[in-house]
Structure 1
């Protein structure tokens, strides 16, 4: 006889039949006896189960009669015992299997551990000792063992490589047990190893805060150690993985093997076929089985081919330089090439047919430039480029179609059986198209198979024998979708039609709000295979979405509701993006990125300018940190705007800022820039705080390299004593560069410290990292390299938490520069790691900076040829239009000058130094300009001209604003010459260095 107390108390005979146990008192009595089978249970403990006094003996007698001789209940001392073995009770078997599973885990056998622990957990049917009142102690113990076994099973599955599969379950468990640190550790590991490093850091931050708020405790050693491990690792972007299949793939085994084999020899494979034939599902299966990295890019939401490069950047989780590089020569395609050039990756491009020309052009470029890249495309037509291999995806064969129908029917009707001939007739009527079969099978929840067959015959007619064209099959699919649609209730149809306004799916809350679902229609649509619910989001297949968008009433009302919802989301998120909550809110907005763009597009199409302007104004902080552009949407909005709506001047200026972040919006920026800046100044005049504290700072960053940028700087600096704490911190940060340029390190340091303190108090990692980097540069200038390295390390932790690859690469280069004099090998490691991060990020500028650093190392090692190659490569990669490239280009030019000097070619060296000084000083980078003039002085000293060298050292000091410490012997020998040079103006210093009049004029204008 077997017994169960993990749920309702049950007893089963060996044949499997239930033993009738009687009422609650008798089930409670048996449960208490079974807690420790074979051991005596005191009568008073049994009485706590609801059977007291003389009634206890009566209940024991009745229980003996029910169980019979197979489970004797014996009187012993002051209580009773039941003569069964621990393994006869589900709780005993559970604990034995759980212990064995944990032991297998300790031995490193994850497969066996997972199997044993699953078997143990499957014994649970409900809460432990569900029939026993007042059983807290033993029930709590068993529930704790259950949770520990669940954690062990998840641990085993993580060791088996099922990282992403475990995330939804772990999120649910941590939500129900928020203070259980092992669950937090497991979730962080699952996210980290599945590519979600930034998400793992969010989990740590949320757990740390809960522990502090509710227990007043710090994270455990394991949790803290994992956090440190996450921070030490490179913030590798996690490409969008293929969506996790909800069901098994049926009938495509040969296709999967064939496509996978073809991809070993062909770098571009296109799956072709009609809609609904299963191209996407096949691509997901192939990508899931392919070795190495894979990235899935769904192209169905794209409006046109122009958006393709940015869509791929998003799928690759690459940050795009958005608001501060309007005239950048390096566009998103260049960034993709840089990111993929040295990477082995399978890129899945799904649903290419509506942007096939753009896909063909971009795929051709990427494949030519990136030898480790393979592309798997799905399209109703070929891409039509050299090197493409086609794999036609045909309807299922007859047997596979029947198996698919039967499997899907069994999922909605348990125990489904039907005449195979009827099922085959249904599948044939559906042209054996998998999507059509799934839609039809889902209807068996409410109709029988004969009725289904008859309705399909009436609707479609029996198909003719032989092959049919793709177009005809697509018409068949549309007919099946229409048939499924017509069978929906009014509420279901309305919800489905309104759901089509979403791009990239929707959370349940958003879906209910926009679809007006008060009747469970969304859940019903999932049951009928018109929606999928996975990873906490509803999604609609593109074939069904396209059909639904054509149906019913115009969807203007739904689109308006969609735009309002995502405007409210963006407005709610914006202040949190400048606080300690920024990681969580970045994840929220990142998940809704496509919906935010769709809302902006609709605002422009509907000429709803106020909504569009407000939404655009709520996104700059998100786009600055995450990377991305809404330039195209901003341009369209400005084109339909007319006069600036009253009270929305600040929003208008922000929209102009967005438009100016892309070369395509250059003309719009020029037309609107003056009016937009005036609107921004008015919004922030007379001590007003404005509604968007980050916008003046970002406006200034956009205008930093323009000749008349002083008004933009003044707009930020006026906030130094304002009411908004973030704007104050940003103003202090900008204010530090003024005294820095004039050589007042004390004032600069005080401003940067104030900025760092302000950003840190808010919890803004981004701003804090900027300020710390500035302080590190200041420390390096005064010769305190150790402090510079320590400050940069702190900044690297913060950019690591944000997953900001560009900034991490930049900081690594800076740390290498701080280390190069004292520890050449540490600097080399920093430059090499920076180069690797920059390549993954697709950042030509930061890759160039890392190569420049490696050139410095090569020169110090005496390898002049390698140094020249590295400097030349770096120069070719620096973006000449971006202010962040100015110092790097100047330093690379100085390096090439040193290479020439090492070869005795002083003429070339002098030319390179002057080019570097002019390039730097004309854009205000006087530190790098002074270094170039110092290099000229060294050249003069090498040529036996110490007095001229001293004068140039003084000129370098004039440029820098502080005395130079280079070549002290020249200063000692010719102090008057040095003093003469130091007394020059910046323009005069450049003239003394031999620069031409055009450069000197640009410096004078500053």
Structure 2
């Protein structure tokens, strides 16, 4: 079936005068695998095996060319579902470096973080990196369009299970379950079953809500840094993202923008990549100065609406994105978040009791300290409160979340409407 691969490997081996057994000893690839590759019995060879063979068969530096030919011949790990966009991943080098090692050693990685922070983009990059190692096939399954768990957990589980089991899972397959927060119990249950039934399977799950899975490596995907102290002589990652996206769409425009103003733009948008990308798109028709003025006047809810038809409805603007997360909270947590939203900037546990509810100027009903800790933990698990860890822990509500919550309270609109 793959004559190019058959001929290439066979010719290279014979050119070196090696038997299959000798090539196996030199490369670390089994004789059976070499035989199956040369005869075309393997339909989707592992890229790790191809790299090992290439390093022996092409020791003079043409390995990259050989791998390119194999990839062009359709021999890369099969990929089903959404693929990464072609633009570069910005500000996630350390995350990707660490997680690439984790996915080789462990079978379950959960990426958690607020809406728009880049969980899906990082998951795609991580899946791509895994195809160079232990993975021989990738399936990306977007759960965002499925109904929320609600009061029918059995039907919810069956829907999630059907979305996954329709994929042909090969040994050493990697499955990405994207946008899982509204289906957390079903996804948790199904993940445990998949890992048990398929010993070679690996899972990457993205969710705004932390999942209760002890076996998982749970990684917090945080907003891109906006402060100059992290730039190490260059630009903060958030600023770099805006300039890069602007430069890609409108060559020359990025060179005319003041980096300090771009940095202010990034700070107003919390360093959330999706909002930064929408802002970069807005610069096509609105000057940076005018856009900053709108955002300074808290018009971000109206200004930042994406026209990207590939996004789910709740991903296209700030209001619907935040409301999607708020809908997963019970009334007590929504009320508590409303109080926290009245606090601008970072705050401590002790600060919370000093602020009234945003919906009323009356003195707030006291929260017992234990309740405060528990509710803070739950809101942090939902990625609606950011934990600033240090010698003293502090907390903050992202400004975009604050804007939606305070607007809902001001207009007496239920935050999950």
Quickly say closer, same or farther: Cα 1:311–1:400, change in 2 above 3 A.
same
Give the aligned partner of residue 376 of structure 1: 204
Choose from 225, 237, 240 the match for 1:403: 240
CA distance 1:252–1:550, shift in 2 (3 Å): closer
| Residue 358 (structure 1) aligned with residue 194 (structure 2) | no
2:303 counterpart residue number: 483
1-side partners of 2:200 and 2:272: how far apart? 35
Aligned twin of 2:160: 308
Matched, 1:446 2:266: no
Higher RCO (CA 8 Å, separation ≥ 6 residues): 2
Q: State whether structure 2 residue 315 is matched by structure 1 residue 543.
A: yes
Matches within 5 A, 1:131-280: 159-163=68-72, 190=74, 193=75, 240-280=80-120
Give the SS at the match of 2:177: strand
Tell me what 1:598 maps to.
Answer: none
Note if contact 2:275-2:304 (Cα within 8 Å) is conserved in structure 1: no
How far is 1:262 from its partner? 1.7
- The TM-score, its normalising length taken from structure 1, stands at 0.22
Contact 1:367 1:373 (8 Å CA) reproduced: yes
Please give the alpha-carbon distance, in whole angstroms, between the structure 1 residues aligned to 2:104 and 2:76.
Answer: 24
Task: Tell me how far apart the structure 1 counterparts of residues 321 and 201 of structure 2 sit (CA, whole Å).
Answer: 35
**Helix, strand or coil at the partner of 1:286:** helix
SS across alignment from 2:86: coil
Q: Is contact 1:412-1:444 (8 Å) kept? A: no
Q: How does 1:284-363 map to 2 (within 5 A)?
A: 284-291=124-131, 292=135, 293-303=137-147, 304=149, 305-306=156-157, 307-314=159-166, 316=167, 318=168, 343-363=171-191
Q: 1:344, 1:373 within 8 Å by CA — same for their partners in 2?
A: yes
Shift of 1:482: 3.6
SS, match of residue 206 in structure 2 = strand
Contact 1:251 1:400 in 2 (8 A): yes
1:230-271 Cα distance to aligned partner (Å, 9 max, x none): xxxxxxxx5514413131111111111111112223221111
| Conserved 8 A contact 1:439-1:481 | no
The Cα of 1:159 is off from its aligned counterpart by 4.0
Deviation at 1:549, TM superposition (A): 10
CA contact (8 A) 2:108 2:217 kept: yes
Q: Could you give the per-residue CA deviations for residues 695-715 of structure 1, whole angstroms, max 9, x where no partner exists?
A: xxxxxxxxxxxxxxxxxxxxx
Contact 1:531-1:541 at 8 Å conserved across structures: no
Deviations 1:848-867 (A, max 9, x none): xxxxxxxxxxxxxxxxxxxx
TM-score by length of 2: 0.52
**Deviation string, structure 1 residues 846-895 (Cα, Å, up to 9, x no partner):** xxxxxxxxxxxxxxxxxxxxxxxxxxxxxxxxxxxxxxxxxxxxxxxxxx
Q: What SS class does the counterpart of residue 80 from structure 2 fall into? A: coil
Retained in 2: the 8 A contact 1:530–1:540?
no
Q: 1:389 to 1:158 in 2, by over 3 A?
A: closer
For residues 945-956 of structure 1, the aligned pairs below 5 Å read none
- Residues 157 and 254 of structure 1: is their aligned pair in 2 closer, same or farther, counting only changes over 3 Å? same
Q: Distance in 1 between matches of 2:141 and 2:210?
A: 17
| Aligned-pair CA distance for 1:406 | 0.5
Deviations 1:737-762 (A, max 9, x none): xxxxxxxxxxxxxxxxxxxxxxxxxx
- How far apart are residue 407 of structure 1 and its match? 0.9
Q: Identify if the C-alpha distance between structure 1 residues 550 and 290 changes in structure 2 by more than 3 Å, giving closer, same or farther.
A: closer
Q: CA deviation at 1:432?
A: 0.4
| Equivalent residue, structure 1, for 2:4 | none
Deviations 1:779-802 (A, max 9, x none): xxxxxxxxxxxxxxxxxxxxxxxx
Alpha-carbon distance between aligned partners in 2 of 1:349 and 1:421, rounded to the nearest angstrom: 38
Q: What CA distance in whole angstroms lies between the structure 2 residues aligned with 1:290 and 1:161?
A: 17
> d(CA) in 2 for partners of 1:242 and 1:547?
25
Distance 1:389 1:159 in 2: 32
Structure 2: runs of 5 or more not aligned: 1-10, 13-64, 150-155, 227-235, 324-417
Equivalent-residue separation in structure 2 for 1:262 and 1:249 (angstroms): 19
Matched position secondary structure for 2:316: helix
Q: Structure 1: state its 5+ residue gaps.
A: 1-106, 109-155, 164-188, 196-237, 319-338, 461-479, 486-528, 533-537, 552-1006
Decide whether aligned partners of structure 1 residues 550 and 419 sit closer, same or farther in structure 2, where only a CA change above 3 A counts.
Answer: closer
Q: How far off its partner does 1:437 sit?
A: 0.4
Cα distance, 1:157 vs structure 2:
9.9
DSSP 3-state at the match of 2:85: coil
Classify 1:157/1:408 alpha carbon distance in 2 versus 1 (closer, same or farther; 3 Å).
farther
Asked if the contact 2:301/2:317 (under 8 Å) is kept, the reply is no
SS in 2 for 1:531: coil
Residue 548 to residue 542, structure 1, CA distance change in 2 (3 Å): closer
Cα root mean square deviation, aligned: 3.0
The yes-or-no answer on 1:422 pairing with 2:261 is yes
SS in 2 for 1:264: helix
Task: Summarize the alignment of residues 91-130 of structure 1 with structure 2, pairs less than 5 Å apart.
Answer: none
Aligned-pair distance for 1:531? Answer: 1.0
Q: Corresponding residue for 1:437?
A: 276
More helix by share: 1
Distance 2:116 2:107 in 1: 25
When residues 274 and 549 of structure 1 are mapped into structure 2, their CA distance, relative to the original with a 3 A threshold, is closer
SS in 2 for 1:384: coil
Confirm or deny: 8 A CA contact 1:270 1:389 kept in the other structure.
yes
How far off its partner does 1:453 sit? 1.1
Deviations 1:172-196 (A, max 9, x none): xxxxxxxxxxxxxxxxx54xx467x
Rate the CA distance shift 1:268–1:157 in 2: closer, same or farther, 3 A. same
Corresponding position: 1:412 with 2:252: no
In 2, the alpha carbon distance for the partners of 1:432 and 1:549 equals: 16
Aligned to 1:457: 296
The change in CA–CA distance for 1:392 and 1:161 in structure 2 (over 3 A counts) is farther
Alignment-derived partner of residue 982 in structure 1: none
CA spacing shift, 1:550–1:269, aligned 2, 3 Å: closer
Compared with structure 1, are the counterparts of its residues 396 and 550 closer, same or farther at alpha carbon in structure 2 (3 Å cutoff)?
A: closer
Q: Call closer, same or farther: CA 1:410–1:159 in 2, change over 3 Å.
A: closer
1:445 counterpart SS class: coil
Cα separation, partners in 2 of 1:250 and 1:361, compared to 1, 3 Å: same
Is contact 1:270–1:378 with CA below 8 Å preserved after alignment?
yes
Distance of 1:360 and 1:401 partners within structure 2: 32
Measure the CA separation in 2 of the matches of 1:446 and 1:402: 19
Write the distance in 2 (CA, Å) between the matches of 1:161 and 1:279: 30
- DSSP 3-state at the match of 2:174: strand
Is the Cα–Cα contact under 8 Å of residues 242 and 287 in structure 1 kept in the other structure?
no
How much does 1:377 deviate?
A: 0.7
Kept in 1, the 8 Å contact 2:304–2:318? The answer is no
- Cα 1:392–1:457 change in 2 (3 A) is same
Residue by residue over 1:556-575, the C-alpha shift from the partner in whole angstroms, topping out at 9 and shown as x without a partner, is xxxxxxxxxxxxxxxxxxxx
Number of equivalenced pairs: 238
- The structure-2 alpha-carbon separation of the partners of 1:271 and 1:244, relative to structure 1 and needing over 3 Å to count, comes to closer
Contact 2:224-2:271 within 8 A present in 1 as well: yes
